[in-house]
């Protein structure tokens, strides 16, 4: 029996997508692949809500984040990173490793970005860009990206968004909200195996890319864009063809359902998980007003052991959840409910958690 992955990713993959990913892959320089890749690109543009091309990279989401830094900036560029957890800090570390003058504005693990503090920062300094995480899986908090972008655009500051765990699960409208770079990946809300990241840039971001002096080769987004725009669209290097086949099928399924319906269902799942957690007498880690509809972080009660809860659920019930990261290690457990989630998965997760707590 397959393990039920109620984690921040990889997430569960629908049977229809698994069947496609298990087929013999196309060769990536054939008409079959060109058609597949073209149709995937059309799907991704609809989900990103952008008129610009969405670029496919064979990497995890972190590769997409690194590609944005390497392609849009030059050495010593001053940037602001608004961090609310592990993945905000990751963007900061990537920026530092590429020689940017990166400033970390840490709002705290378990908090959302404070718009007043952010505006004060942007008003009093000249940043080349703002980096921000949409859905922080380390804490179970979702930032209000629309309002953050409105604030940044008042000061003509480009907005770079880590949407690795949010795109395709909660609303994000790249063009309408004025976002300049959006990064996501295959194994979260897009219901597919790991292996691909996706990057979309605004016109303003492409202008930034023309001036970048940082080194890039494999992650050269201008080369990737040239491939997408060809009459026979492809990638500069050999891509993860089987995962491209899978994501094409998964995005077909999402669009067929309708993204508004997808968002509605995810919101219902989030509410249902939070209500169940509270019914057990447990406490949510973040305030409910900023709690994610895609992953729920739960405080571990005193005298309980997070690792034992996780192990019990996995060994006795075949349900996998995760623990905390960094300063939250041992203090929280995290239940993912993004992407492909079925009713029976939620019920088995609730039963497994209740049993684990009872056993202790």
Q: Which residues are annotated as a binding site for substrate?
A: 334
| Three-state secondary structure call for residue 322 | strand
CA distance 134 to 111: 12
Pairing of strands 78-83, 101-106: parallel
Tokens of 245: 């086949």
| Three-state secondary structure call for residue 288 | helix
Structural contact between residues 181 and 65, judged by C-beta atoms closer than 8 angstroms: no
CA distance 13 to 33: 22
| Three-state secondary structure call for residue 334 | strand
* E strands present in the chain: 4-5, 54-57, 78-83, 101-106, 129-133, 135-136, 141-142, 159-162, 181-185, 197-201, 295-299, 319-320, 322-323, 332-336
Binding residues: 334
CA distance 295 to 315: 22
Instruction: Report in angstroms the alpha-carbon separations of 339 from 6, 9, 35, 165.
Output: 10, 9, 25, 9
CA distance 134 to 139: 12
Structural contact between residues 151 and 122, judged by C-beta atoms closer than 8 angstroms: yes
């Amino acid at each position: 029996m397959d393990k039920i992955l109620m984690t921040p990713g990889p997430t569960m993959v629908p049977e229809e997508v698994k069947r496609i990913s298990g087929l013999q892959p196309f060769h990536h320089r054939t008409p079959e692949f060109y058609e597949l890749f073209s149709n995937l690109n059309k799907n991704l543009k609809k989900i990103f809500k952008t008129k610009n091309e969405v670029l496919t990279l064979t990497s995890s989401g972190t590769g997409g984040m690194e590609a944005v830094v390497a392609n849009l900036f030059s050495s010593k560029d001053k940037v602001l990173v608004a961090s609310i957890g592990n993945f905000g800090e990751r963007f900061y570390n990537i920026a530092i490793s590429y020689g940017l003058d990166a400033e970390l504005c840490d709002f705290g693990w378990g908090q959302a970005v404070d718009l007043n503090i952010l505006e004060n920062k942007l008003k009093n300094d000249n940043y080349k860009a703002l980096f921000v995480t949409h859905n922080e899986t380390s804490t179970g908090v979702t930032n209000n990206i629309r309002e953050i972008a409105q604030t940044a655009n008042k000061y003509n500051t480009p907005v770079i968004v880590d949407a690795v765990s949010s795109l395709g699960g909660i609303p994000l409208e790249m063009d309408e909200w004025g976002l300049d770079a959006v990064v996501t990946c295959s194994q979260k809300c897009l219901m597919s195996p790991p292996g691909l990241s996706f990057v979309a840039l605004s016109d303003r971001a492409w202008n930034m890319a023309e001036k970048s002096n940082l080194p890039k080769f494999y992650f050269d987004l201008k080369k990737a864009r040239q491939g997408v725009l060809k009459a026979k669209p492809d990638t500069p290097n050999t891509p993860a063809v089987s995962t491209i086949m899978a994501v094409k099928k998964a995005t077909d399924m999402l669009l067929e359902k309708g993204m508004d319906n997808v968002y509605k269902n995810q919101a219902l799942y989030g509410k249902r998980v939070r209500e169940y957690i509270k019914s057990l007498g447990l406490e949510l880690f973040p305030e409910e007003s900023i709690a994610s509809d895609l992953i729920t972080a739960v405080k571990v009660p005193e005298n309980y052991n997070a690792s034992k809860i996780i192990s019990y659920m996995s060994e006795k019930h075949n349900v996998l959840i995760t623990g905390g990261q960094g300063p939250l290690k041992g203090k929280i457990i995290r239940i993912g409910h993004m992407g492909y989630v079925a009713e029976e998965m939620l019920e088995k997760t609730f039963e497994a958690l209740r049993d684990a707590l009872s056993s202790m």
